[in-house]
Amino acid sequence: MSLYSKIGKGLLFQFDAERAHGLSIRGLQAGLHPRFDAAFDPRLSVDIAGLKFTNPLGMAAGYDKNADVPGALLALGFGHTEVGTVTPLPQPGNPKPRIFRLKEDKAVINRLGFNSKGHSSALAQLKRRSSRSGIVGINIGANKTSEDFGGDYVTGIEAFGAVADYFTVNISSPNTPGLRALQGADPLTDLLHRVDEAVEKTGRKTPVFLKIAPDLTENEMDDIAKAVLNSNINALIVSNTTLARNGLKSGAVAQEVGGLSGAPLFERSTIVLAKTHQRLEGKVPLVGVGGVNSLDTAWQKIEAGASLVQLYTGLVYEGPTLPKTILTGMSKMLDKEQLPSIKHVCARRVDDWAKKDLLTN
Ligand SMILES: Cc1cc2nc3c(=O)[nH]c(=O)nc-3n(C[C@H](O)[C@H](O)[C@H](O)COP(=O)(O)O)c2cc1C
């Protein structure tokens, strides 16, 4: 049992979820965290989108919204971390309470609504970074009151063009009214065109990832795949939180409005990952997110088609040594299966996952 399971979690869980999140950020800022110092296993390195990731595991967006702790997150062992979602102007997000733990389900519901200190604050933080090692992506979004959501993504690319290793265009948060409509065929084609032009104007070929929802119909997945294949998008992140509430053990709290993350999202997000992989025919790499909280769940994401894996809620329940547990476990799995690299695991079970039924998950 880790120190976190014995003491840290008990302490943090005494506070409401948002306060605990703030305390954990402060702990990381103060250096009160484990470090994964071992040399990275070269068999775990992943090259996608013109970037070299030392390992396939990344910190998902939403934890470090304002770029307070990218260095500390990378020190836990993550090969990359995703800052944001950052909105152009500062905005407070929805009224509190707005993050809820579903302990019996190892899950979280949040309806933060893009609380953000805005572009200029995150940019200042990123410029202050002492070390530039490790991959830091910037997840960009739109202000709630914006009259042109697409324009806010363009502004994000202009603002962070010099510091982002990659951009994530997040059009899948369920907590900003109207945002998910950008996933529709025409609005998406238009948005990706504008994004493309904005990246071109920066003069750097910063890769762009697109983050989608797990609550899509087969037709909607078709439309997204078509728009992505006709664009310069470098990777797809599957997925954000879900509006579904199937099979939860937690009582009344499970009915809170917002996006559900953690263990109950694993099945659904992995099915959508595999279905997306089939549609993109391996032409666009995927990042698998949703319910990863162990070696086994990370491994299954890769088998279902993910080149990279991200997690957030798993860290809340399993603690800061989770990246180390997963990465050392992956090396052992490669030994056991006598495989030369993690690439040989990628997508070997896409069809098994893609044929599962979304309606029951
Ligand atoms: C409290 C909280 C805040 C989040 N905020 C964001 C966000 O700002 N932008 C985003 O793209 N995803 C956000 N997410 C979604 C995560 O990045 C991830 O896609 C989702 O939680 C599924 O992964 P998990 O089950 O490992 O948590 C948030 C998730 C949580 C739990």
**Of the candidates 285, 344, 281, 229, which has an alpha carbon nearest to the alpha carbon of residue 49?**
285
Task: Mark whether 173 is an active-site residue.
Answer: yes
Domains present along the chain, CATH in parentheses: 3-354 (3.20.20.70)
Residue nearest to atom 19 of ligand 1 (CA): 240
Tokens of 294: 């162990």
Q: How far is 258 from 192, CA to CA, in rounded Å? A: 26
CB distance 107 to ligand 1 below 6 Å = no
Reported pTM: 0.96
Distance (angstroms) between ligand 1 centre and the Cα of 171 equals 12
Q: Residues 97-111: pLDDT tens digits?
A: 999 999 999 999 999
Angle at alpha carbon of residue 203, lines to 201 and 208, rounded to 5°:
80
Q: Residues 133-176: pLDDT tens digits?
A: 789 999 999 999 999 999 999 999 999 999 999 999 999 888 88
Low-confidence ranges of the chain (pLDDT < 70): 1, 3-6, 130-131, 360-361
Q: 282 phi and psi, to 5 degrees? A: 75, 10
- pLDDT for 130 equals 66
Tokens of 52: 């070299």
Distance (angstroms) between ligand 1 centre and the Cα of 248 equals 19
